[in-house]
Amino acid sequence: MHDEGRLRDAGRLRALDGLRFVAAAAVVAFHFTGRDNPGWGESVREVFPTLSRLTVYGGFGPYLFFMISGFVVLMSAWGRPVPAFVASRVGRLYPAYWAAVVLVAAVLWVVPVVPTLSEIGLPGVVLNLTMLQPAFGVGHVDGVFWTLWVELKFYVLLALLGLAGFTRGRVLALCLAWPLLGAMGAQAGSTLVVALLEPTYAPFFCIGILLFLVRRDGWSTSVGLLLGGNTCAALWVCQAHYIPWSVDVAGVGVSMRALTVLLLGCIGVLVLVTLTPAARLDLRWLTTAGALTYPLYLVHEYPGWALIRELAPVLPAYVVLAVVTAAVVAVAWGLHVLVERPLGPRLRRAVERDLTRLGADRASGNAAPVTAPAPRPAAAPVPRHASAAGHGTARVAERVPTA
């Protein structure tokens, strides 16, 4: 999803770019045809009685995004200075996000398909620009923004680990402690621990993290055990969280058997595109599709619903679906070309420069204080006859210490 820029590891993993786009396409299909929404004016199960049975599982897309993020973001962070890592995340996430907040708010102002603006007001829209609105109890301008808050916490965890230094042992410890402590906090009823550690999503990030370790260092017993443990935890999340969530949001339940197949299939495909010869697939259009993933994710939901509401009364449902899908893809392309490409690298360089300078200032502040040089002894007077003797005039230069 929203968390992966340039994939560097012995060349770009283009197949992984393609997988990211598949995840985004599944989410788009879920929001347009798999869950009830205010665009169609009736249940999607009436509009798309057959298609909706399949696309209701598209809500699983964010979980696949989190697995991919675990792999890609750790790959981006490993061996990289923390300022460079943080700057890469800021440059990657914020330009398109800022544009999406403004665009979605403008669409909702014209076509209030959901009551977001009346609920959070202009101050809430402005606070959304920080991406930190959940910390203040403020709703999202667009519902899909919830995943960004989860991703930010993952980045913070990796940045803290990066300060200590990435090692295989520390990453393995993270994949053991993170889901376990989060689950224990949830059982103890600690809302703060749950808010910080996101136990519902931690196993999915850890699956991606562990697969990156396999790509980097090969399989080991520890990695295999932790991968199995986190897969078991993810299956429990599917039963305890995803099925009730689907009933609440999509208006219909899903099969645990199908979710099990879907989870294992996602892990299998992630293995395929990162650990097998398929990782060397060199099709540039996959990278183009990957580049559209994040902006498409950001702008498709509420603007798409608004456009569906305008077109559904006058066009056949599948024509509306095709037109709206093409429209949001076109907007995503425009966002990528006009916003992400020019602004992302500039913001990244600026943030990295500032963070590096801040680190240098702190280092100099922690250094031993600079003491003023000891005063020089007064120069001996020059005999008058020295000048008369033709040896030149002696000059005593006054040296002013500089900071």
What pLDDT, on the 0 to 100 scale, is given for residue 384?
Answer: 40
| CA distances, 321 to each of 297, 317, 324, 325, 327 (Å) | 16, 6, 5, 6, 10
What number of residues does the chain have?
Answer: 403
CA separation for the pair 317, 313 (Å, rounded): 9
What does the pLDDT look like over 306-341, one tens digit per residue?
999 999 999 999 999 999 999 999 999 999 999 999
Residues 6 or more apart whose CB falls under 8 angstroms from that of 90 comprise: 347, 348, 351
Identity of residue 360: A
Q: Are 280 and 120 in contact (CB under 8 A)?
A: no
Residue 360 tokens, joined: 């240098």
pLDDT band at 11 (very low <50, low <70, confident <90, very high): low
CA-based R_g, the chain, Å: 28
Q: Are 182 and 197 in contact (CB under 8 A)?
A: yes
pTM (predicted TM-score): 0.86
DSSP state letter for 380: P
Q: Are 2 and 145 in contact (CB under 8 A)?
A: no
Mean pLDDT calculated for residue range 277-296 = 93
- Asked if pLDDT for residue 159 goes beyond 80, the answer is yes
What does the pLDDT look like over 175-185, one tens digit per residue?
999 999 999 99
DSSP 87-146: HHHHHHHHHHHHHHHHHHHHHHHHS-SSSHHHHHHHHHHHHHTTT-GGGGTPPPSSGGGH
Mean pLDDT taken over the chain: 89
CA separation for the pair 264, 258 (Å, rounded): 10
pLDDT band at 358 (very low <50, low <70, confident <90, very high): confident
Q: Are 68 and 16 in contact (CB under 8 A)?
A: yes
DSSP state letter for 279: G
